Structure formats: structure tokens, C-alpha cells
Amino acid sequence: MQSPEGEAFPTAFQAVLLYVALLLCELFVGAALRDMRSLTRLTPEQISALTLVLANGCVFVVVMPFQNISYRSLFHHSSASRRATLALVVPPVLLLVPALMLTISTALALLVRIAPMSAWEETLFQRMGDSGIASLIAACILAPVLEEMLFRGIVLRGFLRQYSRWHAILGSAVLFGAAHLNIYQFVVGIAMGVVLGWLYERTRSLIPCIALHAAYNSGLVAMGRLVDSQSAHMSAAAVAVVWLVSLAAAGCGTMALRRMLSPRPR
């Protein structure tokens, strides 16, 4: 089955249905793996990671033939080479990560004061910060790759073919945030989704998007461990230096990206 020639997929409604299908796949696959836990001897963290891979795999097995695109094209649909994208675009992208982490974490702290987390949400975030190897692989590798494949490689790519540039980017960012099913990650998802969406729209490559997403998640894991340690007690001067260095790095990264990726005047 393939999409009719010239017809863009997915529309906004189809993108919502696509995520609902993914959510149902995760529920069924997760339930099946938990039922077989006595046979497989998998830990809950391993089950979560395996569920993420298998559920996304089910969706991509259906969507990729329908889209009539290869995985090679999905990851990099640009006239620039993969090597050039990796060497020239990824380094300034990584300079954005510290400032993004600090800014979003500060916004989340304010949001938690306004709307405190429920017991279920606290348990969810504690589980996400688990230091087990399966949880680390899921958060720092699997989630960035699979989420970028779906929300930028499939959803945003389709949106850009039928909506204006910023409508497509904002629409995919809202869907990305809503897909996390809680207000805190919804805010994070929109902020990150706009940055990742702009990056994909300019490069037409998932390589820098995955690099940014993976670095951000890895940074959060590292920051969580730092907060739990004794070294977390920093002076006001040290905090100010961290902010200044992070903002300076982000400024350099932003200027480099705008210089490389902004459209040239004809």
C-alpha cells in the first residue's frame, strides 16, 4: 500500500491517528512482555526499553511502505552529504544544549511551583531518571532516535509539504509535546520541538536532530546525578558563571547555524 502520488502524508488529523496507533502498540506490546516476564526474566526497565523499540517498529513497518521512502532517505533527505552535516552542523548544535537545559529546567521548576506534580507523575519522573543500563539506553539513545524518526522524519516532513513553514514546525512541536501525556513534558516538548523542527526544516536531516535530542537527554541524566550528589551545592557566583558560559556557547552555536543554514538571497 502506498500513498497516492502527490498526496502529502500525514495531515494533522492523520498525525494524531498515527500517534494513537503507536500508543496502542505500546500498550499491547508492553502487556504481552509483562505477561511473559516469568519466561523472559526481563526487568521492568528492560521491558520498557524493548516495548519502545517493538512498538515503534510496528508503526514504521506500516508507515514506511505507505510513504514510499527508504530509511536512508528518512534519516537524510538533503543535498548536503551526511559527512558534511555531521562535521559542520552537529558541533554548533551541541553548543546549544547547556543553555537549553538550564532554560527549560528553570521554566519547569516554576511550573512545578504553580502546578505541583501528582504522586503518579513523581513516580514517572523518578523512573525516567533511573540509572539502570536499560533506562539509560532508552532515554539517551532509543528515545532520541525513534522520536526523531517519527516526529521529524515522518510528521514534520509531511507537514512541510502541505502547510506553511512555521505552521508545520509549531504543529509538529505541539504534537510532540502532547505525546508525552503530562503538562511538564508537554512544555519541554514544545520548546524542544520548535528548535528541532527548525533544525530539520533547514537541514532536511535527522542527524543533527538526533544529536541534539540525545545530548539534551544525556545532559538531563547527568544533571540529575549531580543534583543528587554533594557537589550540587554551588555558590551563586558559580551558578552565574555556568549561566554565562552556557549562554555564550549558545550564542556562538546560534550564529554559526544561522550563518550556515539561513537561506541565501538570490
Q: Is the pLDDT assigned to residue 261 strictly greater than 60?
A: yes
This prediction's pTM: 0.89
Q: Is the pLDDT assigned to residue 96 strictly greater than 70?
A: yes
Q: Is the pLDDT assigned to residue 179 strictly greater than 50?
A: yes
The pLDDT of residue 49 is: 85
User: pLDDT tens-digit profile of 26-84?
Assistant: 999 999 988 888 787 888 888 888 888 999 998 998 888 877 888 899 999 888 899 99
The pLDDT of residue 232 is: 55
**pLDDT above 90: percentage of residues in the chain:** 51
Average pLDDT on 239-266 reads: 88
Could you tell me the three cell numbers for 243?
549561566
Q: What is the mean pLDDT of the chain?
A: 86
The pLDDT of residue 4 is: 45
The pLDDT of residue 228 is: 58
Contact 155, 172 (CB under 8 A): yes
More confident residue, 226 or 88: 88
Among 46-50, 229-233, 243-247, the minimum mean pLDDT is found in 229-233
CB neighbour burial string for 128-166, b if at least 16 within 10 angstroms, e if fewer: bbbeeebbbbbbbebbbbbbbbbbbbbbbbbbbeebeee
Q: Is the pLDDT assigned to residue 6 strictly greater than 50?
A: no
Side-chain half-sphere exposure of 149, counting CA atoms within 13 A: 24
More confident residue, 126 or 103: 103
Annotated domain spans of the chain:
78-261
Q: What is the DSSP letter of 229?
A: S
CA distance 21 to 159: 19
**Sign of CA pseudo-dihedral 203, 209, 212, 216:** positive
Q: Is the pLDDT assigned to residue 234 strictly greater than 60?
A: yes
